Amino acid sequence: MLAIGALTLSACSGTDAEAQAPQSFDGATATVTKGDLVGETTVQGTLHYADSYTLKSAFEGVVTALPTPGTSLTQGSHVYTVAGNNTYLLHGATPAWRAFEEGMSDGEDVTQLETALSELGYFEATPNAHFDWNTIAAIKKWQKALTLTQNGTLPLGTVLFAPEDLRIGALKARVGDNATMETELFTASSSRQVISANLKLSDQALGVVGNSVTVRL
């Protein structure tokens, strides 16, 4: 056992002469630098319009007007008509859920309406949550421009609020159809185009907000 132990020790540590001999290095050297790691990958994506959804009728009766597929509607544009009831597009994040009329309670939807009418040039005061004579006057001006009855009220369904302009997709109904409150009229989306792509799990670290991408169509 002692002989084996000595042999093992000798093989691992060498003689004193070997330990003291200078060691030569024949490899290459390189300067170590510090920087950001950069990665990239190539994936196939789909170009489409953002925030697509299906719009249903706000009225019951015969459909008499629908938008043209592929067109974009801006704020103030006529959207569709059912049973003589017109619907118009205004900008706003909150959907219309009640009529706008004298005596209604204060709410953010009133501020949203007044802001939209101000952007169209009809509301002259500072938008606020109270429906008052300023709101009525602005609605009447808008109704006059649209050649509608100037009564200062907007029944539920007259206004379609959307955060931005709408692009009309495919029609789900036709002029002459008898619509109910659940009838799908058409699809709509934002007018912004986006690209959707699926990243592999190993590449998902690259999909961080703020990272740059190169698009090849």
Q: What is the dihedral of CA 182, 94, 86, 168, to 10 degrees?
A: -80
Domain boundaries, the chain: 54-97+156-194, 102-152
Contact 130, 110 (CB under 8 A): yes
Cα separation, 142 vs 14, in Å, equals 99
Does the pLDDT at position 14 exceed 90?
no
Q: Tell whether pTM > 0.85.
A: no
Q: Specify whether domain 54-97+156-194 bears CATH 2.40.10.
A: no
What's the mean pLDDT when you consider all of the chain? 86
Question: Any idea which of 6-15, 107-116, 157-166, 196-205 has the lowest mean pLDDT?
Answer: 6-15
